[in-house]
Amino acid sequence: MQTDLFSDLLVIDCASFIAGPAAATVMSDFGARVIKIEPPGIGDSYRNLFRLRGSPDDIDYFWALDSRNKESLALDLKQPAARAVLEALIVKADVFITNFPFPVRARLGLRAEDVLPHNERLIYASLTPYGEEGPERNRTGFDTTAWWARSGLMDMVRATGDTEPALSMPGMGDHPTAMALYGAIITALYRRQLTGKGGVVSTSLLANGLWSNACQVQAALCGYELTARPPRGERGAMVETYRTLDERLFILTTTNPARDWPLLARAVGHPEWLENPLFATPMDRMANTAILVAWLDEIFAADTWDNWRARLEAGGVTFGIVGQIHDHIADPQIEANALLPEFTDGSGLRTVDSPFQLAGETKHPPRMAPEIGQHTQRILEECSTSAADIAALTMA
């Protein structure tokens, strides 16, 4: 029988939406038991997000993704009996994850100083929008505001300098931030192995936004003025997007034009370009970018993506398809690496795997995310809750 790497770990997911809970999801992928605490009746507000996008009331795809493998315990944490259950779980737990605003944590007794005295081995994992300290520590925020907009990514990721900045996609900053929180938790568990003591780990959406935009932030710290992106036809022909006969976009990229220019010229069937004085040096090619882009536009538009992909691969050219969201469903590369595993309920529905593997370890097959309070009765019984309190806590 398979023994999962984290099968001896109990994680309390006392958080909402994505960035905090997704760190628990990654732990569950390696077998940790994760108990999701959510309000009775309404559940985590994340459950309603997919309806706000105009989706039919069918499969809550957000919830299926980030709450797989978890058990749902519906508790009103304002009730004394519920607090007793939570404390019974904290005593046994290895990790406690929360992203509630600090004023809410204070009201509910969920601050580190409230939780850690019950279990000196516990890792208290705190996720905030803007950090643990400072004038904005109590502000609410999402990845759109704290990771994407505040970090400068929103301002810089534009097609050109005069293009309106784009909104981020749901979870775009949350999932990378969850990986940072996961890494902090695992680091703290290693320290606990050495010292026997738990403690507090933390990260924020802002810190992860700055890390994601770190090359540009570092440039600013070093005194550089970063210019806006130039329009198409001025960026350089070897770092440009092109369209094929069947309307697929792809992008070329290079870090070594002297090496890659001959590869491209030969791959597109024009080795004579290597003798053309217009393109003799990188400076010449940049000065004549508009000409070269126009020629490449005509060439790439004359054949299909499948044919160009084969030719560019054979020629050693570095390129990438501009993926469309449904491409991934039948992508043989994704399939070969098992990046979209099936849920175990036999429905054939797949999910997105957490983004790393550990040689010699098999991830726990993903179970479908729970209904609100699906495991409440059993967990309350495990916590030796009285019959009267169970009846009160599970009352609809």
The label of the residue with tokens 């990229």 reads 253
Query: What mean pLDDT value characterizes the chain?
Result: 95
R_g (Cα) of the chain, nearest Å: 26
What would the mean pLDDT of 362-370 be, rounded to a whole number? 96
SS3 for 103-147, per residue? HHHHHHCCCHHHHHHHCCCCEEEEEECCCCCCCCCCCCCCHHHHH
Confidence of residue 2 (pLDDT cuts 50, 70, 90): low
| pLDDT value, residue 395 | 75
Q: How far apart are CA 354 and CA 206, in angstroms?
A: 22
| pLDDT value, residue 315 | 97
The kind and range of the H/E element at 342 are none
What would the mean pLDDT of 123-152 be, rounded to a whole number? 98
Helices 205-212, 174-195: axis angle to 10 degrees equals 110
Give the percent of the chain with pLDDT over 70.
98
What would the mean pLDDT of 315-332 be, rounded to a whole number? 97
CA angle, 337 then 340 then 345, to 5°: 130
Please report, as a single letter, which amino acid is at residue 76.
D
Confidence of residue 296 (pLDDT cuts 50, 70, 90): very high
Residue 353 has pLDDT above 70, yes or no: yes
Residue 57 has pLDDT above 70, yes or no: no
What would the mean pLDDT of 250-270 be, rounded to a whole number? 96
What is the tens place of the pLDDT at every residue in 13-56? 999 999 999 999 999 999 999 999 999 999 999 998 887 777 66
What is the b/e burial string over 234-267, where b = at least 16 CB atoms within 10 angstroms of the residue's CB? ebbbbebebebeeebebebebeebeebbebbbbb
CA angle, 352 then 355 then 360, to 5°: 110
Closest Cα to residue 39, out of 78, 70, 69?
A: 78
| pLDDT value, residue 394 | 87
Q: How far apart are CA 291 and CA 302, in angstroms?
A: 17
The kind and range of the H/E element at 252 are strand 249-252
| pLDDT value, residue 56 | 64
Residue 1 has pLDDT above 70, yes or no: no
What would the mean pLDDT of 188-215 be, rounded to a whole number? 98
| pLDDT value, residue 358 | 96
Q: How far apart are CA 116 and CA 97, in angstroms?
A: 12
Confidence of residue 217 (pLDDT cuts 50, 70, 90): very high
| pLDDT value, residue 58 | 82
| pLDDT value, residue 53 | 75
| pLDDT value, residue 54 | 72
